[in-house]
Chains A and B, each alone.
Chain A
Amino acid sequence: QVQLVESGGGVVQPGRSLRLSCAASGSTFSHYGMHWVRQVPGKGLEWVAAIWYDGSNKYYADSVKGRFTISRDNSKNTLYLQMNSLRAEDTAVYYCARRPETTAFDVWGQGTMVTVSS
């Protein structure tokens, strides 16, 4: 059973940093592109960032470009999202999701809540 488990969320002041992790199990993590998607509670889904299976290419939403960095450690089966210069509008549930070449986002984690507030 493929599973993704996010961690690292919490309450942080504006301008501070936070690093999210997404631990994968049950599949060959290094075969898949991975994504972060966020959702303000009660609102819609917003794609945040993507990284290729080998980490060679990374893509970001304009709203986080220059502040967030996506990375992965295939030896640890873990995806990361380093979030710097956090703003109130970054407050959301952050999901990691797997995207094989043959389908769309087929596996999602349960999400981790990030609250940016003074």
Chain B
Amino acid sequence: DIVMTQSPDSLAVSLGERATINCKSSQSLFYSSDNKNYLAWYQQRPGQPPKLLIYWASTRESGVPDRFSGSGSGTEFTLTISSLQAEDVAVYYCHQYYSTPYTFGRGTNLEIK
């Protein structure tokens, strides 16, 4: 199984500041036949289902604010929120859909400092 190691577990950032969350996979998520990294990021607010933010490691889902961006390739990935807003308080998960069993990171709890 592919293990997803997400860091940090929790993060406190001031409003308007940058937030960075990291995710490492135990094997490459890059599929050479289609040149894509099978890595997604989700946001989950309390009492809500996860919401897709980023897929193929760096493609922003329709309707997601452009302050959210994803980067990385292979085994190392990053989610960046360029200017934290109050509504960004949530838990963020990385997710590999390269192979079954699909796996998720343990989550990063993002709070306002």
Contact = CB atoms under 8 A, between A and B. Distances in A.
Most buried by B among A46, A47, A99, A109: A47
Interface stretch (B72-80, B82-90, B102-110): B102-110
Contact of B52 (A46, A62, A106): A106
Interface residues of B, number: 21
Most buried by A among B49, B51, B55, B97: B49
A60 B102 CA distance: 9
B103 A106 contact: no
B95 A104 contact: yes
Contacts of B49: 95, 108-111
Contacts of B103: 47
Contacts, number: 55
Contacts of B61: 103, 106
Interface in B13-65: 40, 42, 49-52, 55-56, 59, 61
B93 to A, nearest CB: 6
Most buried by A among B40, B42, B101, B106: B101
Nearest to B55: A104
Most buried by B among A35, A60, A62, A106: A106
Nearest to B104: A45
Contacts of A109: 49
A109 B51 CA distance: 10
A79 interface: no
Given A44-B93, A44-B106, A45-B93, A61 B50 contact: no
Given A44-B93, A44-B107, A45-B93, A103 B52 contact: yes
Interface of B: 40, 42, 49-52, 55-56, 59, 61, 93, 95, 97, 100-107
18 contacts: A45-B107, A46-B104, A47-B100, A50-B102, A59-B101, A60-B101, A61-B101, A99-B97, A103-B52, A103-B59, A103-B61, A104-B40, A104-B52, A104-B97, A105-B52, A106-B52, A106-B61, A109-B49
